[in-house]
């Protein structure tokens, strides 16, 4: 027998309540297919107990107290940070593990060159070995969850099992987890099964460690059968499987098959001084300012930005023919370093309490600190490893990828429509990355296909959110390189086809590309960024309304000399020109790099994007 190998239809058609012995303590009304699957996982992993999560406040409180007792988390000073906690991970378990993330499609070509592919039956046999007895001595928690508002036609359901109470608490923040989700499954909703174990079984009487994990790690996806398995890591998206594993890798395959988009995008509502609202979706690689944009406090009078989501968006053509989107998540899993009252005051206000921090530093009075939070670090701290720290230590006090996990409901800028079950209408799509050169502050695509080309050619300097050399430039199309669950050439084709469907049904959203991070010859940032990024959003909105002028450039339309609102900024004319300068020779060299990248997809690469590249070269040589 291979790993949990039974017909997919057994999980999608049997909605009769489970018999008591099979349900392993399942609550009344649990569908038989869910209970049978849980029983099968339990037989393989051999937990000491099974707990079916209801998602209640009492359950969360009990789990937090259990984690404190186990030494996994410590409660912060309740007077400074009410009901908040600090977790310190194992030093080898601090980031997404792209090298250990696998797409096990039936055919290797369907995974594509940007994914790690393994033959499905061989991987199932391998996982069978590592999961056998992996939960001995631990409790297996069963977490039914909804991605998206309960009952939304755009929502998707899942059930994750885990032997980590830290993962339960995190999943309870990031999803609608508990009784309401299992009730939706009982009504007939399809569901994605996800199995997670830290891979650290306990023998009788064995002392546990604060952060159990295993040096051997797997994050495995079976796209055809919509299954997820994760082993060895308790960190972030490696273990909170509803997040990247489901909401992007598996959901992107569902979206391709069902005709929608599952994207690594923030969602914001922008309101102009006239009171008219616009909704924008934006794709940025991790740690490139997504949360700052999602929670922006505009520096220009009369404009407001409200948050709908900071990381993932699911987009569909609605019944009215318009492009609509939801944030499938219920919380924020944000990068702490660099977040400050200057860069993101809204995020700071969101973190006032009820927050779990991971791998940040702790002050002597029991509050949190990380690099960038204040201009001057405290004289003494406890660092993310739990060791004494001072500015002379020579090491970061907080891990560069340290995080906060907090409910989206706490965000002061959360839009009243953030849980609209029908989704919000999308007026524009933005792509961006962290580029010191070549890419202007803002460019508007000529049309949808050109916009897909801009998305497909995003490149960004590597950050600490994933494995790799920090600062190295890598292509990250649509900010989805680590997250597309199938061949990215087919993914590009799906975007092009989606645009054709949009053209038949409604107005196609405008597409823009931005770069807040361009640097001058002295190495300093040319653009002030943060709240002043609202000036770029203003230009986009004015373009939507036909009020702002633009001039053509090889890369697309850019603001005219007086098109961007620069009032109150100390930017001289030369600096503004440098923000939009396009070095034709450098861009032609980059076009060669794009050609090489496109070539990796072989005959799966859409001809339209190859044509867009040749059109770009023609404009650069004109």
Per residue in 504-533, pLDDT (tens digit) is: 877 899 999 999 999 998 999 999 999 999
Identify whether residues 249 and 296 lie together within a single domain.
Answer: no
Tell whether 75 is covered by a domain. no
| Residue 104 annotated in active site | no
Residues forming beta bridges with residue 551, ordered by sequence position: 558
Contact 280, 270 (CB under 8 A): yes
Say which of 53, 104, 213, 288 is annotated catalytic: 288
Identify whether residues 360 and 385 lie together within a single domain.
Answer: yes
pLDDT the model gives residue 10: 39
Contact 200, 127 (CB under 8 A): no
Name the DSSP class of 562. T
Identify whether residues 224 and 322 lie together within a single domain.
Answer: no
**CATH number of the domain residue 555 falls in:** 3.90.228.20
Identify whether residues 21 and 121 lie together within a single domain.
Answer: yes
Domain boundary among 259, 290, 306: 259
Identify whether residues 507 and 584 lie together within a single domain.
Answer: yes
Mention every residue, 6+ apart, whose C-beta is less than 8 A from residue 408: 307, 309, 327, 329, 330, 331, 332, 414, 418
SS3 label, residue 222? strand
pLDDT the model gives residue 506: 72
Tell whether 78 is covered by a domain. no
Type and span of the H or E element at 283: strand 277-283
Tell whether 89 is covered by a domain. no
pLDDT the model gives residue 468: 53
Which residues span the domain enclosing 379? 332-410
Identify whether residues 470 and 425 lie together within a single domain.
Answer: yes
> Could you give the percent of the chain with pLDDT greater than 90?
89
Identify whether residues 326 and 342 lie together within a single domain.
Answer: no
Identify whether residues 474 and 593 lie together within a single domain.
Answer: yes
Per-residue burial over 10-49, b if 16 or more Cβ lie within 10 Å, else e, is ebeeeeeebeeeebbebbeebbbbbbbbbbbbbebbbbee
**CATH number of the domain residue 394 falls in:** 2.170.8.10
Tell whether 610 is covered by a domain. yes
Low-confidence ranges of the chain (pLDDT < 70): 1-2, 5-24, 287, 462-471
Identify whether residues 588 and 460 lie together within a single domain.
Answer: yes
Identify whether residues 475 and 552 lie together within a single domain.
Answer: yes
Domain boundary among 410, 430, 453: 410
Tell whether 238 is covered by a domain. yes
Identify whether residues 362 and 461 lie together within a single domain.
Answer: no
Task: Please count the structural domains in the chain.
Answer: 3
**CATH number of the domain residue 225 falls in:** 3.40.449.10
Domain boundary among 410, 440, 462: 410
362-402 residue pLDDT tens: 999 999 999 999 999 999 999 999 999 999 999 999 999 99
Tell whether 168 is covered by a domain. yes
Tell whether 467 is covered by a domain. yes
Residue 465: name the closest of 361, 345, 311, 352 by CA. 311
* Separation of CA 189 from chain center: 24
Q: Note the pTM of the prediction, 2 decimals.
A: 0.95
Identify whether residues 35 and 63 lie together within a single domain.
Answer: yes
Contact 410, 333 (CB under 8 A): no
Tell whether 1 is covered by a domain. no
CA distance 13 to 18: 13
Is the alpha carbon torsion for 378, 380, 382, 388 positive or negative?
Answer: positive
């Amino acid at each position: 027998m291979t790993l949990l190998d039974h017909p997919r239809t057994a999980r999608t058609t049997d909605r009769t309540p489970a018999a008591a012995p099979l349900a392993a303590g399942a609550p009344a009304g649990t569908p038989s297919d869910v209970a049978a699957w849980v029983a099968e996982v339990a037989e393989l992993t051999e937990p000491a107990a099974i707990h079916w999560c209801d998602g209640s406040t009492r359950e969360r409180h009990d789990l937090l107290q259990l984690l404190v007792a186990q030494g996994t988390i410590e409660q912060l000073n309740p007077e400074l940070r009410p009901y908040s906690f600090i977790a310190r991970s194992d030093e080898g378990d601090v980031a997404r593990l792209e090298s250990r993330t696998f797409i096990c499609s039936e055919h290797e070509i369907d995974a594509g060159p940007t994914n790690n592919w393994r033959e499905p039956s061989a991987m199932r046999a391998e996982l069978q070995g590592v999961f056998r007895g992996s939960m001995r001595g631990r409790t297996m928690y069963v977490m039914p969850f909804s991605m998206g508002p309960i009952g939304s036609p755009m929502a998707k359901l899942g059930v994750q099992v885990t032997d980590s109470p830290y993962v339960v608490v995190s999943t309870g923040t990031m999803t609608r987890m508990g009784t309401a989700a299992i009730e939706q499954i009982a009504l007939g909703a399809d569901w994605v099964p996800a199995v997670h174990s830290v891979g650290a079984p306990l023998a009788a009487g064995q002392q546990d460690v604060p952060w159990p994990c295993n040096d051997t790690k797997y994050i495995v996806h079976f796209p055809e059968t919509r299954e997820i398995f994760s082993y060895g890591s308790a960190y972030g998206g490696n273990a909170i499987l509803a997040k990247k594993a489901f909401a992007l890798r598996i959901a992107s395959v569902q979206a391709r098959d069902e005709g929608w988009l599952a994207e690594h995008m923030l969602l914001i509502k922008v309101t102009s001084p006239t009171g008219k609202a616009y909704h924008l979706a934006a794709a940025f690689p991790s740690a490139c300012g997504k949360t700052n944009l999602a929670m922006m406090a505009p520096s220009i009078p009369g404009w407001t930005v409200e948050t709908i989501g900071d990381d993932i968006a699911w987009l569909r053509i609605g019944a009215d023919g318009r492009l609509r989107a939801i944030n499938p998540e219920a919380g924020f899993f944000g990068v702490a370093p660099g977040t400050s009252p200057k860069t993101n005051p809204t995020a700071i206000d969101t973190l006032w309490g009820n927050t779990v921090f991971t791998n940040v530093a702790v002050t002597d009075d029991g509050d949190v600190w990380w690099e960038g939070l204040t201009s001057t670090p405290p004289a003494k701290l406890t660092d993310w490893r739990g060791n004494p720290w001072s500015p002379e230590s020579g090491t970061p006090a907080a891990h560069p990828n340290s995080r906060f996990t907090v409910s989206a409901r706490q965000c002061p800028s959360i839009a009243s429509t953030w849980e609209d079950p029908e989704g919000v209408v999308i007026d524009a799509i933005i792509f961006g990355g962290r580029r010191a050169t070549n890419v202007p502050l803002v460019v508007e695509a000529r049309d949808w296909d050109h916009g897909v080309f801009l998305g497909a050619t995003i490149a960004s300097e590597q950050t600490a959110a994933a494995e790799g050399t920090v600062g190295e430039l890598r292509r990250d199309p649509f900010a989805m390189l680590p997250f597309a669950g199938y061949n990215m050439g087919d993914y590009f084709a799906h975007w092009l086809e989606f645009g054709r469907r949009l053209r038949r049904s409604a107005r196609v959203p405008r597409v823009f590309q931005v770069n807040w991070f361009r640097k001058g010859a002295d190495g300093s940032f040319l653009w002030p960024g943060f709240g002043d990024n609202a000036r770029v959003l203003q230009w986009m909105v004015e373009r939507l309304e036909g009020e702002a002028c633009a001039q053509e450039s090889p890369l697309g339309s850019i603001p005219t000399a007086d098109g961007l609102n620069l009032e109150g900024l100390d930017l001289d004319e030369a600096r503004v020109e440098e923000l939009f300068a396009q070095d034709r020779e450098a861009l032609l060299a980059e076009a060669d790099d794009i050609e090489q990248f496109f070539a990796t997809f072989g005959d799966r690469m859409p001809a339209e994007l190859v044509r867009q590249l040749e059109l770009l070269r023609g404009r650069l040589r004109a």
